A and B are shown apart, each in its own frame.
Chain A
Amino acid sequence: MDLQTLTYIVVGATFALYIGIAIWARAATTGEFYVAGKGVNPIANGMATGADWMSAASFISMAGLIAFMGYDASVYLMGWTGGYVLLAMLLAPYLRKFGKFTVPEFIGERFYSQTARIVAVICLIVASITYVIGQMKGVGVAFGRFLEVPFEVGVYVGMAIVFIYAVLGGMKGITYTQIAQYVVLIFAYTVPAIFISLNLTDNPIPQLGLGSAMADGSGVHLLDKLDQVLVELGFNQYTAQKGETLNIFLLTLSLMIGTAGLPHVIIRFFTVPKVRDARASAGWALVFIALLYTTAPAVGAMAILNFVNTVQTGEVGSAEGNVVAEQRPQWMRNWETTGLLAYEDKNGDGRIQYYNDKNPDFAAKAESFGWKGNEMTKVDRDIMVLANPEIAKLPNWVIALVAAGGLAAALSTAAGLLLAISSAISHDLLKGVFMPNISEKNELMAGRIAMAGAILVAGWLGIHPPGFAAQVVALAFGLAASSIFPALMMGIFNKKINNSGAVLGMLAGLLSTLIYIFWFKGWFFIPGTEMMANTKDNWFLGIQPESFGAVGALINFAVAIIVSKVTAPPPEHIQHLVEDIRIPKGAGQASSH
């Protein structure tokens, strides 16, 4: 059977499964629509959280980032996992005890302020919308590459699938689909990794293979070998630190507290029956996430080693050391047609050279070899995962599985984000602010309409991505880190924070982070509107814009604490509310409000 037919069958089967789940798990009440009736088993919720969290970026792009950044990509590995420790200890159990439906709802009640609630809604919507654009793009790209349909058609199909199970099932439908999507995506990620690890190191477990000796009998460890081949080609050592410690530190911190503050992740912990389930569920979520996140470093390192070995077949600098262009492997030809891979025979020797032509120390050497510049003119990072099965010569069904896995990762995250957006609109804005007396039936209908609207907006933005689409990661995490996380944490851990403190703190954190990012990257990322060149000399204390979320959070904490000190303390009943959410007892009653 040819690859395309096989891919259609595998992807079609997973889609049929998602739709089947949607029909089985329809939501009948607002409780089911917003929080799956609070009846989700903690392990199942952990699995759903894993799929909710791991996006197209985690599945497709992260290993590629690691492959080309080496040690420096550790910021993503630690940053996107360490937040779960904060979530498990600082937020999830208490917010579950509070027992309501949305994140802004907690902020509004704890700080007895509609303004606080609306500020939280705005932060939530901006962070979630920017994040969802990338997922929709991911769906379009995956379709385009594997099923050879136009990008827009891919986005439409993705929208239709999400529409069916998110509008019908709300959180209930999303939860059970996410569980299925987790299974698909983790299988698709680990199977190629196991084969590649076996191939290179004889060890089937990628996490161990990365620390093993090469299978070529040389006895050299894989990572040492990788360091060596990269240095021979003028690159930095793979395992060495290249960036500055301050920015690595702050970016990791920003990603961690941003992770803990992202509403679509937090609301997953509202779906479990008990406070103690929320704690355990965060652990399970991280187990399921760690399966992929500890495999990714192996995938990245092995992919870049395979790639370099494909091009540099012999000794560096020898006449026969590089692959003859006409004899390059089939997978390179396949990916050249997608435009993600390109080579140009700059020195006309009929062979391909891949090396660091930006390294002045290596330039003389390269010239003596007769090299006229790096000839791999385009190597898209995403190839490292997408082309991996072909590089490792795995059967076609594995390639089909990777396509289904990429789609599962993008769709599951998109659905979680869309639910966070629609519940903020129907529950926080409509019921909370504009129509407090709306009936449950009408609120459920409003939730479905908001979901449908959010899907249309997300799809439109996916097809017409604003110029800043590539920058949104910094923005989404910066917003969550600087506005939502500190407000939630102080709401639980500091009884003295009052309404003015919370509102001014959130605004200070939000605005300082937004302005800092826009200052160096242009207002709303419009090119040419930067106030200063985005260079280290201009940065405040040398902090890059991507890393500023942690500083914004600090500003939020400081402003909230100072303002609360000089204004009236929160009323008695709010202090009791805080005391009440700090103990698990009585969570059952709180949920049946």
Chain B
Amino acid sequence: MSAPTHDAIGYWKANLRLMTICLVIWFVVSYGFGILLVEPLNAISLGGYKLGFWFAQQGSIYTFVVLIFFYAWRMNRLDREFDVHED
């Protein structure tokens, strides 16, 4: 182990940036749409669902799944870009 190279610092910063974007979306769909804004959103319908209710019981979960795969995909690219990937 040696002191962090320039690349390692850049990689970590890029990771933190990506993570922050993902966690903002994570927060907005669940705590935002599903909890804090549920009543105003319930005025809008999505098929037979009230929108706020849909986010709380369906939409936030779908978003979580997409977020993790998006993060994993972008991180795999970052790993290669900064040459810190395994094998």
Say whether, besides A211-B49, A212-B47, A276-B86, A282 and B68 are in contact (CB < 8 Å): yes
Closest chain A residue, CB of each to CB of B66: A283
A576 in the interface (beta carbon within 8 A) = yes
Interface of B is mostly: helix
How many residues on B have C-beta within 8 angstroms of the other chain's C-beta atoms?
48
Interface residues of A in 70-106 (CB under 8 A from B): 71, 74, 77-78, 81-82, 84-85, 88-90, 93
Q: Which residues of A contact B (CB under 8 A)?
A: 66, 71, 74, 77-78, 81-82, 84-85, 88-90, 93, 207-208, 210-213, 221-224, 239, 241, 245, 248-249, 252-253, 274-276, 279-280, 282-283, 286-287, 290, 293-294, 297, 573, 576-577, 579-580, 582-588
B79 at the interface (CB under 8 A from A): yes
Total number of residue pairs linking A and B with CB closer than 8 Å = 148
Judged by a CB distance under 8 angstroms, whether B44 is at the interface is no
Contact with A along B46-87 (1 / 0, CB 8 A): 111110011011101110110111011001100100011111
Shortest CB-to-CB span from B62 to chain A, Å, is 7
**Contacts A85-B26, A245-B35, A283-B69 supplied; 4 other A-B pairs, CB < 8 Å:** A71-B53, A74-B35, A77-B61, A576-B3
B residues near A (Cβ < 8 Å) are 1-4, 8, 11-12, 15, 19, 22-23, 26, 30-31, 34-36, 38-39, 42, 46-50, 53-54, 56-58, 60-62, 64-65, 67-69, 71-72, 75-76, 79, 83-87
A261 to B68, CA, bound (A): 17
Q: Which residues of B contact A293 (CB under 8 A)?
A: 61
Contact status A279-B75, CB under 8 Å: yes
Write out the residue numbers on chain A whose beta carbons fall within 8 Å of the beta carbon of B36.
245, 249
8 A/B residue pairs, CB under 8 Å, sorted by A = A71-B57, A74-B35, A77-B57, A90-B19, A239-B50, A274-B86, A283-B69, A584-B86
Q: What is the minimal beta-carbon distance from A235 to any residue of chain B, in angstroms?
A: 16
- In the complex the two chains form, is B79's CB within 8 Å of A276's CB? yes
Bound CA–CA A245/B52 (angstroms): 14
A74/B72 contact (C-beta < 8 A), A84-B64, A583-B11 known: no
Task: Let me know if A280 and B69 touch, CB within 8 A.
Answer: yes
Q: How far is the CB of A223 from chain B (nearest CB, A)?
A: 6
Q: How far is the CB of B46 from chain A (nearest CB, A)?
A: 7
Q: Which of A77, A241, A248, A583 has the most CB of B within 10 A?
A: A583
Q: Which A residues are in CB contact (< 8 Å) with B61?
A: 77-78, 81, 286, 290, 293-294
- Assess the B85–A283 pair: CB atoms within 8 A: no
Instruction: Report the Cα distance A279→B72, complex, angstroms.
Output: 5
Assuming the A-B contacts A89-B19, A249-B36, are A584 and B1 also in contact, with contact meaning beta carbons closer than 8 angstroms in the complex? no
- The answer to whether A74 touches B68 (Cβ under 8 A) is no
In contact, B54 and A576 (Cβ under 8 angstroms): no
Which B residues are CB-close (under 8 A) to A588?
86-87
CA distance A167 to B69 in the complex (A): 34
Contact across chains for B38 and A78 when beta carbons are under 8 A apart: no
- Inter-chain contacts of A297 with B (CB < 8 A): 57-58
The 7 closest A-B pairs by CB, nearest first: A221-B48, A74-B56, A283-B68, A279-B72, A583-B84, A211-B47, A211-B48
